[in-house]
Amino acid sequence: MGPSDGHPLAAMLSQAAAGRFPPPDGVVDVVPSPPGRSDAVVAFTAHSVVAAPVPADEVRAQLTPGDLGAATDARFLAWLAGRLGTAPGMLDLVLVAPARPGAEPLVARDDLADHPRLERARLYRNDVRAFADEEGSGLVVLGRGLAGRLEVAIEVDPEARGRGLGRRLAAAALGLPTAGELVYAQVTPGNTASLRAFLAAGYRPIGSEVLFLRQ
């Protein structure tokens, strides 16, 4: 399954990855649930998207007029979670980079099906695959997530941290898909080690998001 470019959110993400962002007009778009396992609130600069099965007038009735951050206000996110009968996920920064030859080889790890990182990934993603560096000190997880986009997550063993392995894994992950395909990463802003690794590997921030896992 590839990116679901027919969905408005998928198209907006692809366009933002190419540097074509929605207009900073304060608008909150309300669109249907995207393909994948989650609904979402995605924020760009002064423009947000609520992708969930809730009528637009009901959503906008909960937003403070003139507040450019209203769609990511904790009160609105709590209301939306209650409306959807689920819980809001973490606020994540969204970064993206095009696939390209990897900086170092990765080894497929089909034996890690029960790894906690993969178990969590399968809650939010389909077609989850695991890879590791040759020493087995780091893990790369790829899967199809929000709106069918290809998402990557990395994990570095505690004893291997502080040596640049996270950056190398983030770069190596770009060598796994077909050249040119977009690879997205979601990073909690407070996780500065992970954020620095992805930025150093060439990923660019395009917005932020909160996911609402469907029950």
Region of 78 please: left (phi>0), alpha (psi -120 to 50) or beta: alpha
Smallest CA-to-CA distance from 98 within 207, 193, 19 is with 19
Going by pLDDT thresholds of 50, 70 and 90, the confidence category of residue 1 is very low
CA atoms lying within 13 Å on the CB side of residue 51: 27
Other residues' Cβ atoms within 10 Å of the Cβ of residue 6: 10
CA pair distance 142, 108, nearest whole angstrom = 11
Q: In whole angstroms, how large is the CA radius of gyration of the chain?
A: 17
Q: What is the pLDDT of residues 13-27, one digit of tens each?
A: 999 999 999 999 999
Q: What is the mean pLDDT of the chain?
A: 93
pLDDT given for residue 112 in this prediction? 82
Torsional sign, CA 154, 159, 161, 163: negative
Q: What is the pLDDT of residues 142-200, one digit of tens each?
A: 999 999 999 999 998 888 788 888 999 999 999 999 888 999 999 999 999 999 999 99
What are the φ/ψ torsions at residue 6 (nearest 5 degrees)? -75, -15
Q: Which fold has domain 94-204?
A: Aminopeptidase (3.40.630)
Torsional sign, CA 68, 24, 145, 52: positive
Torsional sign, CA 168, 191, 181, 129: positive
Tokens found for residue 96: 């993206």
Neighbour-count burial for 80-95, b at 16+ CB within 10 Å, e otherwise:
bbeebebebbebbbbb
- Of all residues in the chain, the percent with pLDDT exceeding 90 is 80
Where do the domains of the chain lie? 8-93, 94-204
Smallest CA-to-CA distance from 91 within 32, 43, 151 is with 43
| Whole-prediction pTM | 0.93
